[in-house]
Amino acid sequence: MTLELDGFLWKPKPGTAVTAEEFIRSRSVMQEIHRAVEWNPWVQEDRAEEYTAALEAIAQWTRAEPGSLPQSAEELRSEIDRQVAADRARRDAEREKAKQERAEQAASYDRQRAEARLALLGQTAIVADTTRQRDQVASRELYPAMEDERRQEKLAKLDVDIKAASHMVDELTLAVGDVEAVCDERGWLPSERRVLMLQVFAACRVSEVLELRGRVAAHQSDLKAIRGSGRARIREALLRDTARLTFLEAVPRLEAADMCSECPTPADWHSLTVTFSLDPSKDVGAVGGPCSAWPWWRDRLEAARQRILARASPKAKPPEAAVPMPIAVIEPGLPIEEVIARLNAVQADHPGAQLRGSGDRWEIWPRDHA
């Protein structure tokens, strides 16, 4: 029996009990797991038994092309090494070419145009989000109990906002031109930055999923071991971590084109508002919000930061008031002539000064001193 599959011929090894249908299904399972692992590495562990069973079934069949012989371990290793070396050389050449192209692009970097591009992205987001909000208000999806008069006022205001933002989009589009042709100061084009942002997002997602899996397992173990009031806190933490974990695991495989070019966030996640839930079982964390590179949002963040710093910095202490001191002190035991002479001298410089007794001495103070 010979089976053609994916352009190759296969046949069962002598004495095998694995049917053609089982062989095909096992290859399909293995390929499915390989594809899944690229985006969700934890699938390799989750489906380890399934993968091992598929691998054992596939091993019961062999190639059936005329003259084909099984490769030795050394031959297979050498072939893999050649492929790895060729792939590395190709990637190195591609990186070097891209590096040269970026250097050329960086030389023509236009800061004003790049900033206008970011402003265009921010205003485009305002138009899209405000238009969506208007549609939801008009259909009563938003504010279903709102009175008709107030609803019309709300719609009119949204129309004004949409018109203003659309006008800015038109002006910025003329100034920017092709938004995909505007490089940053390092010479990176938006499409290249999206590739980098996808790598960062994917790595952070995998790291957080693995951490959350460990925490969820720890919470579940703690719930079994702890009794009393401490269980409520653990249960809430379990609900929150489980909700976040479920959300992250469900993120579909993304391509570079799905990413924001300015931050490691899927472009579809950006909006004018940040969403979150107070219900622990639905709290997937803060999702959405504007991109921090959009000028209008960046300015708001900076203003908020300055206010926080102003409140956090210690207030300058007022200068300490000088300790009041007498103009002059007349010690006891002086001759009357010298006392009179001193009093006359003080009176000449400080008319109206007052003489006060303090213990066994006299002090001369300014008239306005309390």
| Domain boundaries, given as residue ranges, for the chain | 3-66, 108-181, 190-312, 328-365
Burial of 344 (0-12, 13-18, 19+ CB in 10 A): exposed
- Give 257-275 as a DSSP string: GGB-SSSSSBGGG--SSEE
SS3 345: helix
The pLDDT confidence band at residue 75, using thresholds 50, 70 and 90, is low
The answer, as to whether pTM is greater than 0.85, is no
> Which two structure tokens, joined as six digits, stand for 229?
């009031």
Contacts of 79 (CB under 8 A, 6+ apart): 71
Question: What φ, ψ does residue 264 adopt, rounded to 5°?
Answer: -75, 65
DSSP one-letter code for 286: -
**191-241 residue pLDDT tens:** 999 999 999 999 999 999 999 999 999 999 999 988 888 899 999 999 999
What is the rounded CA–CA span in Å between residue 40 and residue 21?
28
Alpha helices in the chain (DSSP H): 20-39, 43-46, 48-58, 73-107, 111-138, 148-176, 190-225, 230-249, 295-312, 336-349
Helix, coil or strand: residue 78: helix
Strand partners, 328: 364
**Residue 345 and residue 333 in contact, taking contact as beta carbons nearer than 8 Å:** no
For 179, phi then psi, to 5°, come to -65, -25
Residue type, 67: G
8 within 8 A of 23, measured Cβ to Cβ:
no
Lowest mean pLDDT: which of 69-78, 219-228, 258-267?
Answer: 69-78
Q: Which of 44, 19, 16 is nearest to 30 (CA)?
A: 44
Quick one: pLDDT band at residue 160, thresholds 50, 70, 90?
very high
68: left (phi over 0), alpha (psi -120 to 50) or beta: beta
Question: Residue 322's pLDDT is what?
Answer: 74
Q: What is the pLDDT of residue 151?
A: 96
What's the 3-state SS for 119-144? HHHHHHHHHHHHHHHHHHHHCCCCCC
| Residue scoring higher pLDDT (307 or 76) | 307
CB atoms within 10 A of CB 297: 18
Q: What whole-number distance in Å separates Cα of residue 296 and Cα of residue 285? A: 24
Q: Would you state the torsion angle of the CA atoms of residues 208, 213, 215, 221, taken in this order, to the nearest 10 degrees?
A: 180
> What pLDDT was estimated at residue 278?
79
Q: What tokens does 315 get?
A: 């207030």
The CA-atom distances, in angstroms, between 62 and each of 51, 66, 332 are: 18, 12, 123
Quickly state the pLDDT bin for 42 (edges 50, 70, 90).
very high
* pLDDT at residue 296 in the model: 94
DSSP 220: H
Q: Is the pLDDT of residue 116 over 80?
A: yes
What's the N-to-C CA distance of the chain in angstroms?
A: 118
If you search the block for the tokens 């594809």, which residue do you land on? 35
Per-residue pLDDT averaged across 320-342, rounded?
75
* Residues facing 365 on adjacent strands: 354
* Strand partners of residue 329: 363
Query: What length does the chain have?
Result: 370
pLDDT at 123 over 70: yes
pLDDT higher for 327 or 139? Answer: 139
pLDDT of res. 71: 57
pLDDT at 351 over 80: no
50 contacts: CB under 8 Å, gap ≥ 6:
29, 33
